[in-house]
Chain A
Amino acid sequence: MKKILVVDDASYMRMMLKEILEDNGYEVIGEAANGAEAVKKYQELMPDVVTMDITMPEMDGIEAVKKILSMFPEAIIIMCSAMGQKNLVMKSLEAGARDFVVKPFEAERIIQTLESVFS
C-alpha cells in the first residue's frame, strides 16, 4: 500500500483528501499544516508521495518542495493548487514537483494523477 503525506493548511481539505485517498487504497501516514512541518514530517515518515498545498503560512509549498528535493531528490511531490495559480504551479513544477491537481479535490483526478506518477 502506497504511503502518503498530506500537506495543507486547511484541516477540512486534509480531511477530504485523506478520505479520498483511503477509499482508494492509499495509506495516509501523516499530515502537515505548513511547509516547515512538511519538511520535518517527510524526514520522519519517508512517504512514497507528498500532496502539497501551495499557499500556506510560515513556509509555502514551493519552498517546501525545494527543501525536500534538496535532501531527497527521489521524492515524489504532487502540488494542490487553488484556481488561478498558474504561475505558482509552473514554479512548483520547475522546482521539481511531478504534477498538480486543482482544488476543490475530485477523486477521479487525484487517483489518475497518483497512478500516473507511480507508473
Chain B
Amino acid sequence: MNTTFLTSIAKTGAAKGVESLAKLLKVPVKVAKPANAQLMNLDEVITRLGQTDYGHGLALFLEVTGELEGKVLITFTQEDIARICRLIPRVPKEAGPEHPLVRSALLEMCNILASSFMSAIAEYTDLDYLANPPEMTIDMLDAVFISVLTSICQTSGPVVYFDTELIIDVERFYGKILYFPSPGAIKKMLSRGGK
C-alpha cells in the first residue's frame, strides 16, 4: 500500500485524536512525534508484538461494519493507564481503572482514538463504516494479543498498524492502534487511492 497514503491517514487520525482528547481531558494534548502507519501481514504483527513483554494493560476492541468492515484494537500499558487516570477530570484522583466512572472515561477515550483513526481512513478512501459499542478489558496484554490475533486470523488480511505517541498535559504516552480490515475492506481501500 502507498506509504504516503498511509502516513497521511496516520497524521490526520492523530490530529483528530489530539483535538478530541484535549476536549475530553481538558488539558493540552499534542502529537509527540510524526504519526506513522504501516501495512503488515499477520506474521509481521505477531513478530512485532512478540518482541516485548507488555505485562498488564488496557485493551479496547471495536468491531466496525460497513465498507470498512473489520476490527480495531487499541492498547495502553498499565503504567500509562495509571498516569492517564490521574488526568481524567471530575473523578476521584486516587481512583484506578477499576472505578466505574474512570473505566467509562477510559472507554470513551479509547473510543475517541479509534474513531479518529477510522474517520481518517473513511475520509481518505471515501468509504463508510459503522462502529459497534466497544469492549474494554484490563488484562495481560500478551494474552489479549494472542486472543485477538487468533480470533481474526481466519477473516483478516493485512493489518494497518498505527504508532502513536502523544503528550497529554506534560507526559508522554505511547499507544498501539491496530486495524484489521476484512479482505473485502482492504480491497476497497486499495482501489480508493491506497495502491
Contacts and interface: CB of A to CB of B under 8 A. Distances in A.
20 contacts: A10-B104, A10-B105, A11-B101, A12-B88, A12-B101, A12-B104, A55-B131, A82-B115, A82-B131, A83-B16, A83-B20, A83-B116, A84-B115, A84-B118, A84-B131, A85-B130, A87-B130, A104-B23, A104-B112, A105-B23
Contacts of A93: none
A15 B91 CA distance: 10
Given A55-B133, A82-B112, A104-B23, A11 B104 contact: yes
Q: Which range contains the number of B residues in contact with the other chain?
A: 20 to 34
B23 A84 contact: no
Interface in A68-93: 82-88
Contacts of A85: 115, 130-131
A56 B131 contact: no
Q: Say whether chain B's binding surface is mostly helix, strand, loop, or mixed.
A: helix
B108 interface: yes
Contacts, number: 63
Interface string A47-61: 000000001110000
Interface string B68-104: 0000000000000000000011110000000011101
Interface of A: 9-13, 15-16, 19, 55-57, 82-88, 103-106
A111 to B, nearest CB: 15
A31 B100 CA distance: 16
Nearest to A56: B133
Interface in B1-49: 16, 20, 23-24
B165 interface: no
B129 interface: yes
Given A55-B133, A85-B131, 4 more contacts: A12-B107, A13-B108, A16-B90, A104-B108
